[in-house]
Amino acid sequence: MKWIFTLCIITCTALTGFAQTDTTGNQSKDDTIKVGGMIIIRKPGGGKEVIRDRRDRDDDGHSYNKSSNISTNWWILDLGFSNFNDNTNYSSAAAQSFGPGSNEDWFKLRSWKSRNVNVWFFMQKLNIAKHVVNLKYGLGLELNNYFLDDERVHLQKNPTKFVMDPLATDLKKNKLAADYLTVPVMLNINFSPKRGRGYGISAGVSAGYLYSAREKTKNSNGDVKKLHDDFDLEKWKISYVGELLLGPVKLYGSYATKSMWSKGLDQTPYTVGFRFSNW
């Protein structure tokens, strides 16, 4: 029994000495071992240092946060433009009832003033396959502003309809605002999972609930009028959504599956713009 104990001591001592011997003959360099999120650095004098690090480096040598299976991006901002595809049959009884005397020219927009601003409270990315295929989803607000080019066209309520006011010729602003609480779900393909600002594409659908709508006018004297109502807009907006990731530049877009009006007009909304997010 004693010889077995003695043999164990001799073996352990030999292994320890072997582990501390630098077979290259150069003991001036530190030995580094990386285990998960820890980096263990063994010093030449026999000491060691443990560093907790969740950062890695991409193919270009730039550092980035190492991806986990679920990552969260808070407070994403979209800035873009709102518009709609008008397929209304203005000779129909429904269209003329909703807008007596209306035609396509009534609803032409000031394209560069009709804005879309989205504020996403959060978006999450769930790894499906090697961080190349991911599921992205989130929650936020979609804010759409449609500026009518013809300042004489206005909305009325009870009943809702568009009217032409020939006396309204001094307006500086005439817009319809429609705001939604929205949940997007997309499948993301990341072509460069080892880059902090990668390249990829996402596509999916979103469901938005109309929580606020209003018409806002402002005349040349600065007087502002707001008319709040749902204006027979559809309560739910289902859209096809997508994004294009080009390193630091991120683009987004959406196209609704049907008209934003529940009656009268057939105008399908869409948006396009820039996305400001971490990934």
3-class secondary structure for 227-266? EECCCCECCEEEEEEEEEEECCEEEEEEEECCCCECCCCC
Report whether pLDDT(132) > 90: yes
Q: Quick one: pLDDT at residue 27?
A: 46
The region of weakest confidence among 64-68, 145-149, 240-244 is: 64-68
pLDDT tier for residue 223 given thresholds of 50, 70 and 90: confident
Report whether pLDDT(176) > 50: yes
Q: Quick one: pLDDT at residue 256?
A: 98
Q: Rounded to whole angstroms, how far apart are CA atoms 8 and 181?
A: 69
The region of weakest confidence among 71-75, 123-127, 167-171 is: 167-171
66 against 98, higher pLDDT: 98
- How much of the chain, in percent, has pLDDT values that exceed 90? 65
Total residue length of the chain: 279
Q: Quick one: pLDDT at residue 221?
A: 84
Q: Quick one: pLDDT at residue 198?
A: 82
Domain boundaries, the chain: 31-66, 69-276
29 against 163, higher pLDDT: 163
Report whether pLDDT(152) > 70: yes
> DSSP letters along 161-198, please?
EEEE-TT---EEEEEEEEEEEEEEEEEEEES-TTSSS-
The model carries a pTM of 0.76
